[in-house]
């Protein structure tokens, strides 16, 4: 990636924070976490720790 592409990517990047999420949309729903290698498992553990229902796919 060259410097011009990297600068454009950073301009287009949208960072989301916890305050941007409406967690009410996730209440009483099952959430599937899909990832590569250990990432899916790590995210699922994080969600489970946060008292969300996670499913293995």
Domain range for 54: 22-57
**Model confidence at 57, in pLDDT bands (50, 70, 90)?**
very low
Give a yes or no: residue 44 inside a domain: yes
Give a yes or no: residue 12 inside a domain: no
Contact of 26 with 12, CB cutoff 8 Å: no
Give a yes or no: residue 41 inside a domain: yes
Give a yes or no: residue 15 inside a domain: no
Q: Number of structural domains, the chain?
A: 1
pTM score of the predicted model: 0.32
User: What is residue 2's predicted lDDT score, i.e. its pLDDT?
Assistant: 80
Give a yes or no: residue 4 inside a domain: no
Higher pLDDT among residues 36 and 18, named by residue = 18
């Amino acid at each position: 990636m060259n410097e011009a592409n990297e600068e454009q990517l950073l301009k287009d990047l949208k960072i989301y924070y916890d305050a941007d999420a409406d967690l009410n949309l996730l209440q009483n729903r099952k959430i599937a976490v899909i990832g590569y290698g250990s990432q899916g498992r790590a995210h699922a553990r994080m969600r489970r720790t946060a008292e969300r229902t996670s499913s293995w796919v």
